[in-house]
Structure 1
């Protein structure tokens, strides 16, 4: 939320050996459509179902939630995942309430670059209240890289927990990194991804 595929450009530029495919989460959604996790998952699945070669998925924050949900579905061409600032259970209710209030107070023009309306973003945040992936993630066996910034205190604890829950997972904490690592430290973020690709010997699409 609050980003576009262009915000990943600096990271992608540092991945010379990867064939990347940025996915716009809100592409094709009109201002009158409903927006929740299930709908976004269907949109992502539609893109992935058109692929005919192995791939790994990478996502940050909301994107990481969608990546985890795709991993649970055990798609045969999905060979690995990279998630950062990841949540796998409903976030703290107080934090969600505060976030909801912030979105309600923000003027409509603040949402123009997101290709989504205030009503839709509030609906999407509300759907996070029902997130519950812990049990299913413990059964995921594909290689997984979990990244978090050392200063992203809201997501740091969840990232550490996730690394213990998931099989074949590794945890990378980026020093002095905040929440939006792709914007704040694209070089370090890409370095972590490249190391994962090299160590796991992935000849795949991202």
Structure 2
């Protein structure tokens, strides 16, 4: 790494920051911080992407490498757009810039019918989880993404069919972006294949 020496990890929906522990353990020479993204202080009535991004950006005292998966990738992209001076580079897995309505509706349906213990991390109730999805329903970062100028690596598992089209599109409209499709990997490959994830991240950080 040439400029920033700090890597900040942003987890996905239904996860906690602890999901990054196996990845962070493989980066002993790097200063790593994993943040909770599903709570804001003080907690508002509803989860807000704008509020979460503003609070995370405010907490960054120096430019960092942002690493995000799924919801965390959306947050990372948004912070890079609204606070570009805080972001040295982006490593985003399964990102969305304009979540498909069909995908969002399917997620909400599953969240409603599945048991809370299956879909909600310990710190979140099902209504709070649904409010996160509601906050993203009108999101559209597409027209803003060409303005990004920091190094960007977009990654997505080859089995993550729901997010592959967005990964291809996002990487094509960010001038500095590089796409890696991870063969045989699914959506949560950071958890199932942490060593593989770390390998691609390390390659990004040294690129």
Please identify which structure carries the higher helix content.
1
Number of aligned residue pairs: 195
* Preserved CA contact (<8 Å) 2:38 2:124: yes
In the other structure, the counterpart of 2:71 is 62
Q: CA RMSD in A?
A: 1.9
2:30 to 18, 26, 47: 18
Higher relative contact order (CA 8 A, sep 6+): 1
Distance (whole Å) between structure 1 residues aligned to residue 163 and residue 120 of structure 2: 27
**What TM-score does the superposition give when structure 1 sets the normalisation length?**
0.87
Distance (whole Å) between structure 2 residues aligned to residue 154 and residue 108 of structure 1: 23
Q: Does 1:102 align with 2:114?
A: no
* Preserved CA contact (<8 Å) 1:137 1:166: yes
Structure 1 unaligned spans of 5+: 200-206
* Preserved CA contact (<8 Å) 1:111 1:117: no
Map 1:25-174 → 2, pairs under 5 A: 25-28=37-40, 33-48=45-60, 51=61, 53-89=62-98, 91-110=99-118, 113-174=121-182
**What TM-score does the superposition give when structure 2 sets the normalisation length?**
0.87
Q: SS at 2:84's partner residue?
A: coil
C-alpha displacement of 1:126: 1.4
* Preserved CA contact (<8 Å) 1:174 1:188: no
Distance verdict in 2 for CA 1:111–1:32, change over 3 Å: farther
Structure 2 unaligned spans of 5+: 1-12
C-alpha displacement of 1:192: 0.5
Distance verdict in 2 for CA 1:22–1:36, change over 3 Å: same
Please identify which structure carries the higher strand content.
2
